[in-house]
Amino acid sequence: MSFLQLQHVSRRFDNGSRGLANVSVSIEQGSMVFLTGHSGAGKSTLLKMLIGAEQPTSGRVLVDGSDVSQLGSKQMPWYRRQVGVVLQDHNLLEDRSVFDNVALPLRITHLRSKDVERRVRGALSTVDLSDKGHLFPRHLSTGEQQRVGIARAVVNRPRIILADEPTGNLDPYLSRQVITLFHQFRDLGSTVLVASHDIDLIKDQGCRILHLSQGELVQDTANSEQASD
């Protein structure tokens, strides 16, 4: 059974514009998929639906059998604790150190301090920032800030990682580093969905690519491969 499923999902905004139009797609657990398309194609809308921050106008968004739009206010927080989110602008808290930023998802789950410390150190080590835990975000470069955001997204060992333009502010070298990290998390069992408009970066990654245009799914490389087979 597919882990993530969008069944005929459409989203129309209050101003009449179309976010998504009848999108249906299934993603297997432990896979890494790229979501691509121009600005306004519907990539962020799709990710927001998977986070539960947007509701579909019609259709269903299923995660491991649960309809995300049907989750109540009591279930939603626990669902989101299973989802790691990486955003283009990092959303780091400027008044907290790198360590505290990464520890935030663990603190709300009430892990013991020593477990928090161990897991934050591990996450920082994964993104190669072991020696920067005491610094504040303003002391870091853009690439380092993005890696802190990634560490925060994965520190809770989420089952799903959703990344919205994670390389948008990075140079090609740092972008490849970040994508390599996502491959590592996929290898550890997470299902990774990365939205990016950087075709050059993602085309050689050997992953499935979903191409959106004006809210419609216009290309799915998985189907293309099946067709060519």
Binding site for other proteins (CB under 8 A): 51-53, 62-67, 70-83, 85, 91, 93, 104-105, 107-110, 152, 156
Minimum CB–partner distance for residue 45 and other proteins (Å): 15
Enumerate the H helices of 19-171 as residue ranges. Answer: 43-51, 75-80, 98-107, 113-126, 142-154
**What's the CA gap between 35 and 227, in Å, rounded?**
20
Q: Which residues pair with 217 in a beta bridge?
A: 212
Minimum CB–partner distance for residue 49 and other proteins (Å): 13
Minimum CB–partner distance for residue 218 and other proteins (Å): 28
Enumerate the H helices of the chain as residue ranges. Answer: 43-51, 75-80, 98-107, 113-126, 142-154, 172-187, 199-202, 221-228
Minimum CB–partner distance for residue 99 and other proteins (Å): 15
**What's the CA gap between 55 and 204, in Å, rounded?**
33
- Whether the Cβ atoms of residue 164 and residue 36 lie closer than 8 Å to each other: no
- Whether the Cβ atoms of residue 59 and residue 6 lie closer than 8 Å to each other: yes
Nearer to other proteins, 1 or 227 (CB): 1
Nearer to other proteins, 58 or 66 (CB): 66
Minimum CB–partner distance for residue 171 and other proteins (Å): 26
- Whether the Cβ atoms of residue 109 and residue 164 lie closer than 8 Å to each other: no
Nearer to other proteins, 77 or 189 (CB): 77
Nearer to other proteins, 68 or 202 (CB): 68
Nearer to other proteins, 194 or 207 (CB): 194
